[in-house]
């Protein structure tokens, strides 16, 4: 009898359609994780002063919960892939939901900003473990030629949920009150995510082992590079991976801005929490929906151009928001930023997979996700300091716009596919 992770099992077949049941269940997992983080992206910054005791104009403290989230999620991303290669994708997914169970109670009984930060720490663990595993499992199930499509539908499911959760929780707060609304919504989502992960998800390591067996020569030595060697490869030695990783880090400046400063900025302009949530939802829905097109499109026309132009579109949209006035203009600009994110986001992850050694794809993608989500911490910290020093809510918008423009230039100059084949079917073989 073949071991359950054996690459020689005859019942293993790759492809989204043939594995559509499990693929769909993992998409549902991503949707639930998106709802979990989306619930605090509008309500918590918008009500930081009135509900959680944060002083007016305390911009640096306002960003502290995003800084903490970014650090925790980045570290979890770094090790989630390695842990899953040892303990299995499903186990790590379940751990991600278990660690989130105290979050609803922390938000319900929060009597200071410190409680919000504690809840955010646990959400960082949840995101780093659960989102990473649901994505890696779908990559295991799919064909190598479907990486762009996988990343596209994955991020569509997650970020549509983020956008919807922002609006839904704004209504829950309006109906039940801030703490009670967050408690009801978060407890229902986290319990459902845990139950589905435990009772419906199948371990996909056998599919990952089969991927490796299909690309390795029978006489080839096993790729036994250490985590330290892989981290150095992705963070210093491979110019393309370094460029991809820095772009992932910088694009999180945009999302941190939307998370922390857009609700506060719109409320300062006289909008209600529901109106602010609706505009921000445009960003999330365009981002999420657009990835259904841009992910598979990159499998046909290449990823680099979509990434570069996506970075520049985001920067332009961010800069336009403080230079305009009115709900209609802000909604259009939020959509423009969402379109830019749809172009760059799934394709950065797919590009990291292109250049990753096949045997260590989960680890290298984890390293990419480490650098990407550390952008929450670096970006929120930089924006918080800039706003605190200038006492001007417009300063972070300029900081993000310039950063996105420069990062796009770096990708344009430094990402190089072998033989100019973007995307290659077997880039990782050539690199690995």
Cα-based angle 221, 222, 225 (whole degrees, multiple of 5): 115
Q: Show Cβ contacts of residue 95 under 8 Å, excluding neighbours closer than 6 positions.
A: 129
Residue 273 CA, chain-centre distance (Å), reads 24
The reported pLDDT for the residue numbered 3 is 40
Helix (H) or strand (E) holding 49: helix 48-52
The neighbour count for residue 251, using CB atoms within 10 Å, is: 28
Under DSSP, is residue 372 helix (H, G, I), strand (E, B) or coil? helix
Asked, as a colleague might, if the bond just before 314 is cis with ω within 30 of 0, I would say: no
Of the candidate CATH numbers 1.10.940.10, 3.10.20.30, 1.20.1250.20, 3.10.50.40, the domain formed by 226-416 belongs to 1.20.1250.20
Would you state the structure tokens that stand for residue 379, as one six-digit string? 């970006």
Helix (H) or strand (E) holding 241: helix 239-256
Residue 159 vs residues 162, 174, 255, 337, 400: alpha-carbon distances, Å = 5, 23, 11, 13, 20
- Domains 14-207 and 226-416 in one fold: yes
pTM of the model: 0.78
Residue whose C-alpha is closest to residue 283's, from 345, 241, 233: 345
The reported pLDDT for the residue numbered 396 is 95
CATH architecture label of 14-207: Up-down Bundle (1.20)
DSSP designation for 394: T
Q: How many CA atoms lie within 13 A of 119 on its CB side?
A: 27
Residue 97 CA, chain-centre distance (Å), reads 17
Q: Nearest 5°: phi and psi at 69?
A: -60, -45
Contact 234, 242 (CB under 8 A): yes
The reported pLDDT for the residue numbered 44 is 73
Rounded to 10 degrees, what is the CA torsion of 84, 86, 88, 89? 10
What is the chain's pLDDT, residue by residue, as a tens digit (432 residues)? 334 454 455 578 898 999 999 999 999 999 999 999 888 877 676 666 555 555 555 566 777 878 888 899 888 887 887 788 889 999 999 999 999 999 999 989 888 778 888 998 999 999 989 998 988 899 899 988 887 788 778 888 988 898 889 888 888 888 888 789 889 999 999 999 999 999 999 999 898 888 777 766 655 566 678 889 999 999 999 999 999 999 999 999 999 999 889 988 998 899 988 898 889 989 988 998 898 899 889 888 999 999 999 999 999 999 999 999 999 999 999 999 999 999 999 899 889 988 888 778 778 888 998 999 999 999 999 998 998 898 888 999 999 999 999 999 999 999 988 765 676 554 444 444
| Domain boundary assignment for the chain | 14-207, 226-416
Contact 115, 64 (CB under 8 A): no
Residue 316 CA, chain-centre distance (Å), reads 21
What is the widest separation between alpha-carbon atoms in the chain? Answer: 68
Contact 246, 410 (CB under 8 A): yes
- Locate tokens 């151009």: which residue? 305
Cα(128)–Cα(260) distance, rounded to whole angstroms? 20
Cα(179)–Cα(119) distance, rounded to whole angstroms? 13
Q: Show Cβ contacts of residue 421 under 8 Å, excluding neighbours closer than 6 positions.
A: 427
- Locate tokens 């390695």: which residue? 82
3-state secondary structure labels for all residues of 287-315: HHHHHHHHHHHHHHHCCHHHHHHHHHHHH
Cα(417)–Cα(306) distance, rounded to whole angstroms? 14
Residue 98 vs residues 66, 77, 101, 123, 283: alpha-carbon distances, Å = 21, 17, 6, 11, 30
Would you state the structure tokens that stand for residue 130, as one six-digit string? 């659960």
Residue whose C-alpha is closest to residue 73's, from 136, 21, 132: 132
Cα(28)–Cα(193) distance, rounded to whole angstroms? 9
The reported pLDDT for the residue numbered 335 is 96
């Amino acid at each position: 009898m073949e071991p359950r992770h054996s690459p020689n099992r005859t019942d293993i077949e790759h492809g989204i359609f043939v594995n559509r049941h499990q693929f769909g269940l993992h998409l549902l997992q991503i949707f639930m994780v998106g709802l979990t983080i989306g619930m605090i992206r509008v309500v918590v910054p918008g009500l930081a002063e009135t509900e959680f005791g944060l002083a007016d104009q305390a911009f640096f403290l306002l960003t502290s919960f995003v800084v903490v989230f970014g650090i925790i999620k980045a570290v979890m991303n770094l090790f989630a892939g390695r842990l899953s290669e040892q303990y299995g994708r499903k186990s790590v997914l379940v751990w991600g939901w278990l660690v989130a169970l105290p979050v609803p109670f922390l938000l319900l009984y929060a009597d200071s900003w410190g409680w919000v930060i504690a809840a955010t720490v646990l959400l960082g663990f949840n995101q780093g473990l659960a989102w990473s595993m649901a994505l890696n499992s779908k990559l295991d199930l799919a064909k190598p030629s479907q990486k762009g499509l996988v990343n596209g539908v994955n991020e569509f499911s997650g970020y549509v949920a983020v956008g919807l959760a922002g609006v839904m929780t704004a209504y829950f707060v309006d109906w039940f009150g801030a703490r009670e609304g967050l408690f009801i919504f978060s407890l229902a989502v986290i319990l459902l995510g845990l139950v589905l992960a435990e009772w419906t998800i199948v371990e996909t390591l056998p599919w990952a082992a089969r991927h490796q067996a299909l690309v390795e020569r029978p006489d080839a030595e096993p790729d036994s590079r250490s985590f330290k060697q892989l981290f150095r490869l992705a963070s210093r030695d491979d110019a393309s991976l370094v460029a991809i990783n820095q772009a992932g880090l910088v694009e999180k400046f945009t999302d941190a801005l939307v998370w922390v400063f857009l609700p506060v900025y719109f409320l300062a302009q006289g909008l209600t929490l529901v109106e602010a949530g609706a505009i921000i939802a445009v960003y999330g829905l365009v981002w999420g929906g657009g990835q259904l097109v841009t992910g598979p499109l990159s499998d046909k026309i290449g990823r680099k151009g979509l990434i570069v132009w996506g970075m520049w579109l985001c920067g332009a949209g961010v800069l336009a928001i403080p230079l305009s006035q009115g709900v209609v203009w802000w909604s259009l600009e939020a959509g423009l930023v969402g379109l830019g994110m749809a172009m760059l986001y799934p394709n950065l992850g797919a590009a990291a997979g292109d250049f990753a050694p096949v045997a260590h794809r989960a680890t290298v993608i984890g390293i990419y996700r480490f650098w990407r989500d550390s952008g929450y911490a670096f970006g929120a910290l930089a924006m918080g300091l800039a706003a605190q020093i200038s006492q001007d809510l417009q300063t972070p918008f300029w900081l993000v716009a310039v950063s996105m423009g420069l990062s796009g230039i770096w990708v344009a100059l430094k990402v190089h596919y072998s033989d100019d084949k973007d995307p290659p079917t077997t880039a990782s073989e050539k690199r690995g």
